[in-house]
Chain A
């Protein structure tokens, strides 16, 4: 680990080296540009320090931590059921997905498993939050590249999904619905028919986006061949989720790992793309939204009956031990390493969030690109600030 002083020294050396190169070759002066902390392209408070030669980036470094909320520490003074209310806020666009891995880790420690119906509903809500997250990405992508209209369409159709989540859980953004051993409640009446209609709308939305954005020549020329991440580099930097699959690595935790979720009961396809460029990453997310609607549709058809809560003690004490559970969240692999000492609350929780690792590739991938490409690369890497800073 390098501490901050070292990093500053490194960045200084890099800037000097870059300038030296410039002065010799082009007799020009470099410029340090701070993209962020307040910048529309970072949709939050990420700061990216770039050293520019004209419009070309010669060195870049992301600087996170402007929105650090200390969730890992806060969990240590909460009881296990209270933690879900906290971790909800990590990836705020797909909140429910944050709760699931933590609850699964706690269940693993307690050696209980949620009933089949609860697993089904969990998976449905998980995929709904994926849709809520990624549909906004598809709209925001347009804004980043200068097209204003897609984002309004995204908000229009995301609204339906949020309404669904609200009808089931009572919370639009932060459901806090997952419980150790099951779910807080069963689905409300009429959820299944309504959900099916919404899934149809979302598929239309995906088609619309494909027409409006992905088929557009300017869009393609802005994204194709830009920010190429080869599979090897992607693996080395620990990318996950759509960013990894866009580099051609066929790896999806929903399929590749056995968890008490209902993914093995449905048919769906894990999309990969050989290119590894910005377009591939965006296209993979578009396809994943479609697949998510299919998953939800199939799960709604095969919904088992029964209780939604297993038998758990009234006061939850998690036995001593350690567990790590990670799931394929909208942004990538998200995992919780939970250490329990047998108390009411966790002794230590380490959160492995997807965006933090996805952003770590920024210095590598930004080197040598132009300023406009910085924006398309950042947009296609798709991070949520809460997920980086926690």
Chain B
């Protein structure tokens, strides 16, 4: 970064995270949320929010306003400090997650070689927040929800990591920017009109990744930790006011961020196939890609977030033991086989 004032490293990091929050998370959260409400409404043969703004497009702001006005209740027997910190921990995990997502050749907040590793590590911080919330609420439903969440999130972290490994093997790098560039500069069997999005060969990995994302987000069919009709929203039971709002925003923003990451890993990220414009490497990419890249990313995010929500509103939920069985007996073996095959093909060709 070339700025007139020299900023210490921590200051730069802070600025980047704040930039990430403002520039990515708020629009991502808003879009996913609106998308969610409208799409869900049309699926359920109703109109959805119509009053706040044109076609209810300002609904999120109305809801934020509503939640901010509410009283911030901490249960008398709660572990107060942990209780108050828990939503922030979950939100911080989302903030940190967005820092490594590249949006264009130069439009990224930060970029380093262990990007993917960092992303997987940071995404599991939210488990901590959820467990904190579940334990500190002094509520039996919250406790059950928190324990379920811990078990589920840890179980699904594994297939998520394993499904991503196929991409790492193919790209030969854990740098997300490199992964995007590789996907757009290569060709499928000599035909490079599409670049080479890894979904073409890593389709199994993509499926496993999306299923794990669904579980990490605790969306139906993996919403056993929340289970409104059963645990009365699980670890969120005791939360109200803006702390509930933070959980709520974190949920949708994380959905958006994971959709972004999935599009980076499997759908070619911000890139438009380089051959269309005669680019050969990162250096020859035109500058306008820094503007077009984010738009491409948003489009891909919308598609993937749409799939996440579509599944969410169509399926009933798994039971706790069923979803554990699904993770350990189906997803993990499948992704291991995927890694093996990818490695064999990588070496063979």
Using CB atoms and an 8 Å cutoff, list the residues of chain A in contact with chain B: 31, 33, 39-41, 55, 142-149, 152-153, 156, 212-213, 216, 218-219, 221-222, 370-375
B residues near A (Cβ < 8 Å) are: 40, 43-46, 140-141, 144, 220-221, 223-224, 227-232, 313-322
A40-B232, A371-B144, A371-B230 known; A145 vs B317 contact (CB < 8 Å) = yes
Known contacts A146-B220, A146-B221, A152-B46; decide if A372 and B315 are in contact (CB<8 Å): no
Q: Are B228 and A372 in contact (CB under 8 A)?
A: no
What would 6 more interface pairs be, CB under 8 Å, given A216-B315, A218-B316, A371-B230? Answer: A33-B140, A147-B220, A147-B317, A153-B45, A219-B316, A372-B320
Residue of A142, A153, A221 ringed by the most chain B CB atoms within 10 A: A221
Cross-chain contact B229 with A372 (CB below 8 angstroms): no
Residues of A within 8 A of B44 (CB): 148-149, 152-153
Q: Tell me if A372 and B45 are in contact (CB < 8 A).
A: no
Label chain A's interface by main secondary structure.
helix
Contact flag A145-B320 (CB < 8 Å), given A41-B230, A372-B227: no
Bound Cα distance from A373 to B230, whole angstroms: 10
Docked pose: A144 CA to B319 CA in angstroms: 12
User: Are B144 and A55 in contact (CB-based, < 8 A)?
Assistant: yes
* Residues of chain B within 8 A of A212, CB atoms compared: 314
The docked-state distance in angstroms from the alpha carbon of A152 to that of B319 is 23
Q: Are B223 and A149 in contact (CB under 8 A)?
A: no
- Are A55 and B320 in contact (CB-based, < 8 A)? yes
Decide: B320 and A370 in contact? CB cutoff 8 A: yes
Residues of B within 8 A of A153 (CB): 44-45
CB distance from B138 to the nearest CB of A (A): 13
Interchain residue pairs with CB less than 8 A apart (19): A31-B140, A33-B141, A39-B232, A40-B230, A142-B316, A146-B316, A147-B315, A148-B220, A148-B313, A149-B43, A149-B314, A152-B44, A152-B46, A216-B316, A218-B322, A219-B316, A222-B317, A222-B318, A372-B319
Q: Is the CB of A213 within 8 A of B230?
A: no
State whether A146 touches B313 (Cβ < 8 A): no
Question: Contacts A216-B315, A222-B316 given: A152-B229 contact, CB under 8 Å?
Answer: no
Q: Is A375 in contact with B230, judged by CB distance below 8 angstroms?
A: yes
Q: Which residue of A lies closest to B219 (CB)?
A: A146
A323 to chain B, nearest CB (A): 41
- Interchain CA distance A218-B315 in the complex, whole Å: 8
In whole angstroms, what is the CA distance A103 to B244 when docked? 51
Question: CB-CB < 8 A to A142: which residues of B?
Answer: 316
Which chain B residues lie closer than 8 Å to A218 at the CB level? Answer: 221, 315-318, 322
Using CB atoms, name the residue of chain A closest to B141: A33
Contacts of B313 in A (CB 8 A): 147-149
By a CB distance below 8 angstroms, the chain B residues around A372 are: 224, 227, 230, 319-320
Bound form: Cα–Cα A148–B229 in Å: 10
Which residues of B sit under 8 angstroms from A143, Cβ to Cβ?
229
Given contacts A31-B140, A41-B229, contact A222 B314 (CB under 8 A): no
Which residue on chain A has the smallest CB distance to residue B233?
A: A40
Chain A residue contacts of B229, Cβ below 8 A: 40-41, 143-146, 375
Pick from A31, A148, A222, A373: contact of B40, CB under 8 Å: A148
Q: What's the least CB distance linking B114 to chain A, in Å?
A: 37
Name which of B223, B229, B313, B321 has the most chain A CB atoms within 10 A of its CB.
B229
Task: Closest B residue to A374 by CB, please name it.
Answer: B230
A219 to B322, CA, bound (A): 12
Tell me which residues across on chain B come within 8 A of A152, comparing CB atoms.
Answer: 44-46
Contacts of A146 in B (CB 8 A): 220-221, 223, 227, 229, 315-317
Q: Are B232 and A222 in contact (CB under 8 A)?
A: no
Residue of A nearest to B140 (CB): A33
- Expressed in whole angstroms, the Cα–Cα distance for A152 and B314 within the complex equals 12
Minimum C-beta distance from A153 to chain B (A): 7
Query: Would A370 and B321 count as touching, CB distance under 8 A?
Result: yes
Rounded to whole angstroms, the CA-CA distance of A341 and B204 in the bound complex is 77
Distance in angstroms between the alpha carbons of A118 and B224 in the assembled complex: 50
Which 8 residue pairs spanning A and B have beta carbons closest together? A146-B317, A152-B44, A145-B316, A147-B316, A375-B230, A372-B319, A146-B316, A40-B229
B315 touches A370 (CB 8 A): no
From A41, A156, A213, A370, contact of B319 by CB (8 A): A370
